[in-house]
Structure 1
């Protein structure tokens, strides 16, 4: 995973009754998490009559709860160094189905192995590539897409995630201590989105769903961890091709095989706050994201993000993070043109600015508060009542 999850000490049950220690003796490890997010638009005259008619996160009060349990089994006891089996299940609930959708079922079932002194890494099974590629969660967990998980270019391009895992294989080549090349071939999620995927495959165990093909994705990157006087830096670029049969936005009513997308993201530590040994990761960071997908096959064609964030800026709060994130989401020019021809109010893009503060409240408990202003929060078309939104954001994440 490319986002850091808390270790066993930073959980609500580090080792109650010695259970975690006893399981580890048998080669079994686990981590559970409950990720809860809340959005509420504070501007008047923007509310939908019902959640079924809701068009974006926060238009009505919107809440989501994702609960996962990961169990690992270490195979080194059988003479297979670094061999590991991971199985996970999850339950996701959303008050606005388009932001999710709600489901219970498989989250991950993989076998992991390294080769040649960890130069190569292999993972195969029902994979979860949303945590493996691009690293879109860096620098501001509350600044997620205003259109829900399906709004991101990587997800509309077919990348799976914890809500919609699919069969696949991941191969990573660690060129040296910093450079790497990482590739995957996975069954694409439905080209019609996550709601269609879950409707066709609610337990996430089916090998195929209608119109879905294979997604091929390769990422090349440079990653350097923070150390005293050595700032953290992570640059990654990816390209993907999807054989799925997508709805053609240029020629309505038709489908076209072969979608693709590209991305470039970079983050760097600008200043270090190192009051004690082992705290080089504290400091101020900056980063950006640029993504592209062809407008004839994708609702979102371009995505731009700039971010500035600080980790552990206050000695009394070494684990807290504050972030400022600016985004611009550009829609398919063909969908915009069609909407204008139909005398609808349409916009070519949606801009947003988000500030948030993430606090480490107690072992295993993190809480966030934020505020996000979004100009044109709906996708492509809008009304006089949905011209902008000012979302109050909150999150509560619990790990065990």
Structure 2
């Protein structure tokens, strides 16, 4: 099984390299990895087009050597050890290092691009950037003098036809009220800017005119074989709502959703797997990713977004909280293909307390995930049926 894992994790990178994955992007991910900044890599396909995606994000803080004022929300001064202060400063330093690497790489890539749009602002010491670059094979379907309208963010769609391209965005933090520098200066824990970099490369294109939805029964059975082992418990779950129901009607009851057909009844069904220990969770996480990687390799006409998961030696919170899906597949009638249902399927990773969970779910129309999902047999229009009696 270990060999399957290695093949799964290397397949997309090798395939992309064979198609010409940009060496500057490879170097960037290696540099970011060396300073402890994680990159997010995924394989995306909508049947006719498969893409290799690399994304990274960070926040910029004031990492000057000036003393940091540690206080709680009430203004009380907090006691912080030198070691704690050093860890915070190291985190901010790595964020600036990653930003500098991303920005310098973007500049070099833009110089090599076939077309690009670049905008920068540095008002009040806060960087705001937009780089939208087609690196090769781009045919502009619009006016050649087209200027992106930043208010509607069409910049990626402008170069969506490029076989290779990237977007760099740096914006004032959404936590910075009205770009108020005075508010920022009073609290150095407020990030000045938020940065995201996304690189896409088309690694395969097909002439097929049919896109298939995942065979959920087969797919769920494959995953069940991985997770049916000692130290794992499982139970089915059913989540339904009537057409016209709105997430806001249930306030904070729905903690995750994907609304595509609000005028239709919604149903999500599947299995929740509970894993007892972090060590077992990490092992199963790797095996699960390998099996899913093999599955999408065998089914090239699926409509999916797959994230191959690298090894992880940290705590369960980081392992099961950030970017917590392994794969998402979908098929909606809004596409130019016909299908009798609006279906989506996903495998999600979560942690709750000391437990790790894997959710394997299929949705008809909207996907909703309610609070207490790990304790539920069913959730029907807000009515809960728990696994065990709630005292």
The two structures share one fold, judged by TM-score above 0.5: no
RCO higher in 1 or 2 (8 Å CA, sep ≥ 6)?
Answer: 2
More helix, by proportion: 2
Please tell me whether Structure 1 or Structure 2 has the larger radius of gyration of its CA atoms. 2
State the TM bucket, normalised to the shorter chain. Answer: under 0.3
TM-score (norm: length of structure 2): 0.28
More strand, by proportion: 1
TM-score (norm: length of structure 1): 0.27
